[in-house]
Amino acid sequence: MNSYMVVATFKEGVTHADIRALIPAEQAQAKVLTEQGLLGFIKVAMPKRTVFIEAFGEDDASVLSAIQSLPFFAIWNVELFPTSPPAGANF
């Protein structure tokens, strides 16, 4: 399984009310994906309207498929970044 950093920014025009309406469904689906080993940490930087998600999958397509299952996907712009351990790390 490969690791990825997913960087999601809220689309222009998305309001706090739009976000709040999706939170319960987002949390439920994120929990499912975490239990399946497809998501790690999720960090939100609301002042920058940006979300950072650690994700795991065989390839870009499998990670994108998992991210697309999140309700917030409809209100996000998403970029995927394959990651690797830092040089010299013994992971």
> For the chain, which residues make up each domain, given as ranges?
2-82
Dihedral sign for Cα 80, 83, 42, 47, please: negative
* CATH architecture, range 2-82: 2-Layer Sandwich (3.30)
pLDDT for residue 85? 76
Tell me the pairing of strands 39-45 and 50-57: antiparallel
| pLDDT higher than threshold 80 for residue 88 | no
pLDDT tens, 2-50?
999 999 999 999 999 999 999 999 999 999 999 999 999 999 999 999 9
